[in-house]
């Protein structure tokens, strides 16, 4: 059986699955249940200094697919509204009760050096394995000059990270906001400030939808709504991209990464690890399916590793990073054509409609006298975009087949049609 142990920022964990700083980690009761279910660690819900936090009632909006499955959650909840002393006492209790599990204390404070330092020291004194700096919250707290208001300014990211590093001797994780144009700027700033690791992504600033009866953003509070933080499986592609950018950037490639963003299945977890993540944080999946989802995550990841011959996470961590390149580094001479397996085809015509209406008119539909339909690909018109493969409801019915040629690997800068590159 594969070894799921991992190490991040020098912190060892029995498995890579931690609960992210959020409602599931708000109190001892929740964390006890999480550890009993098998989670390797938790990041305690963010603790703050003055002013006190008051949360509103309706806090969540959801984005659903056409079958009412939840793709993402938008929340307008703030950091912990429980007394700081109560949280600190419970952290210390859980730390003693579960000595083999990881506890990271999350924190944020107004932009005053002494407030950051005082709070960091209090959290460190509970015995936590590390401190996560919440520089990403995109609602409520940022209006007070905290959260993403700090995380969007590299200079402030560096300053707050350095302030905490100066007063604690445990690992510091800087949590980055995705609400920025270039994730490398705050990542490099965190490294400059002395961060042992970065955690990303925090939630994406969004309006989840509009109640057309009330005419206000959801969730609606007394006729009004606001923007919030978007999380769940829908943000996974954004998180994967940002993790990959940090992992392949020469200046940050050695920075440990605690990956967050839409991790719901073992496959999601494996993808983040393949892109360089040292450990993983989960929130929405636990909120939707309960703490025992960690059993499926552990078992699925272990089975995958066994089948691939990976004995430990380090065997495949970062393997996808060298293959993650800029668009200009792709092979312009690589050619694919769609192939339709007529034995598997159910004659739904979705491939034909998608190609005929929105792509390259490369799929013919022949209707027989008995009304049956047959579909075939016009190779000369097919550009290998693979839209037909994605819309087809039957697995493996449409495959993309490489076209054999003797053409060399040519990137766009060196392509004959690129007049600038050719000159």
Write the pLDDT tens digit of every residue in 350-406: 999 999 999 999 999 999 999 999 999 999 999 999 999 999 999 999 999 999 999
User: Are 352 and 391 a contacting pair, CB within 8 Å?
Assistant: no
Which pLDDT tens digit goes with each residue over 319-349?
999 999 999 999 999 999 999 999 999 999 9
Query: Rounded to the nearest 5°, which phi and psi values hold at 89?
Result: -65, -40
CB atoms within 10 A of CB 224: 9
Measured CA to CA, the distance from residue 398 to residue 359 in angstroms comes to 16
Measured CA to CA, the distance from residue 63 to residue 71 in angstroms comes to 6
Tokens of 205: 């600033």
Measured CA to CA, the distance from residue 33 to residue 37 in angstroms comes to 6
Q: Is 156 helix (H, G, I), strand (E, B) or coil?
A: helix
Q: Which helix (H) or strand (E) holds 364?
A: strand 363-367
**What pLDDT is stored for residue 36 in this prediction?**
98
Mean pLDDT for 228-252 is 97
Residue of 321, 164, 195, 140 whose CA lies nearest to 248: 321
Q: Give yes or no for residue 422 having a pLDDT over 90.
A: no
Q: 364 forms bridges with which residues in the sheet?
A: 376
Q: 189 forms bridges with which residues in the sheet?
A: none
Q: Dihedral sign, CA of 84, 90, 96, 98? A: negative
Active site residue 137: yes
**What pLDDT is stored for residue 77 in this prediction?**
87
Measured CA to CA, the distance from residue 227 to residue 222 in angstroms comes to 15
pTM: 0.95
Given 6, 137, 142, 283, which residue is catalytic? 137
- Structural domains in the chain plus CATH codes: 6-315 (3.20.20.70), 330-422 (3.30.70.20)
């Amino acid at each position: 059986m594969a070894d799921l142990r991992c190490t991040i920022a020098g912190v060892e964990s029995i498995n890579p699955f931690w609960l992210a700083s959020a409602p599931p980690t708000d109190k001892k009761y929740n964390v006890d249940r999480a550890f009993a279910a098998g989670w390797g660690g938790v990041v305690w819900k963010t603790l703050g200094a003055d002013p006190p936090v008051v949360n509103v009632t309706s806090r969540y909006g959801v984005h659903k697919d056409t079958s009412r499955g939840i793709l993402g959650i938008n929340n307008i909840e703030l950091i912990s509204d429980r007394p700081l002393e109560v949280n600190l006492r419970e952290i210390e209790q859980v730390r003693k009760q579960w000595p083999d599990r990881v506890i990271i204390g999350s924190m944020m404070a107004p932009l005053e050096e002494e407030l950051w330092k005082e709070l960091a020291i209090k959290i460190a004194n509970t015995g936590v394995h590390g401190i996560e700096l919440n520089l990403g919250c995109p609602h409520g707290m940022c209006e007070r000059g905290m959260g993403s208001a700090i995380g969007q300014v590299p200079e402030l990211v560096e300053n707050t990270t350095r302030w905490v590093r100066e007063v604690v001797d445990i690992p510091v994780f800087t949590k980055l906001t995705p609400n920025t144009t270039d994730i490398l700027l705050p990542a490099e700033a965190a490294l400059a400030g002395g961060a042992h690791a970065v955690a990303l992504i925090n939630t994406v600033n969004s309006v989840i939808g509009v109640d057309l009866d009330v005419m206000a953003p959801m969730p609606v509070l007394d006729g009004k709504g606001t923007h919030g933080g978007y999380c769940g499986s829908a943000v996974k592609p954004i998180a994967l991209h940002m993790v990959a950018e940090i992992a392949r950037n020469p200046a940050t490639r050695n920075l440990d990464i605690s990956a967050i963003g839409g991790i719901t299945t073992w496959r999601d977890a494996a993808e983040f690890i393949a892109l360089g993540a040292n450990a993983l944080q989960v929130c929405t999946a636990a909120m939707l399916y309960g703490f025992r989802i960690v059993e499926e995550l552990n078992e699925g990841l272990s089975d995958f590793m066994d089948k691939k011959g990976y004995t430990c996470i380090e065997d495949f961590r970062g393997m996808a990073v060298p293959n993650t390149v800029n668009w200009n580094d792709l092979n312009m001479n690589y050619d694919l054509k769609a192939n339709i397996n007529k034995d598997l085809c159910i004659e739904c015509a979705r491939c034909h409609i998608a190609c005929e209406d929105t792509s390259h008119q490369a799929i013919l539909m022949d209707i027989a006298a008995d009304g049956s339909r047959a579909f075939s690909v016009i190779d000369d018109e097919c550009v290998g975009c693979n839209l037909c493969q994605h819309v087809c409801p039957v697995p493996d019915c449409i495959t993309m087949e490489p076209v054999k040629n003797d053409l060399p690997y040519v990137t766009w800068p060196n392509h004959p049609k690129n007049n600038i590159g050719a000159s």
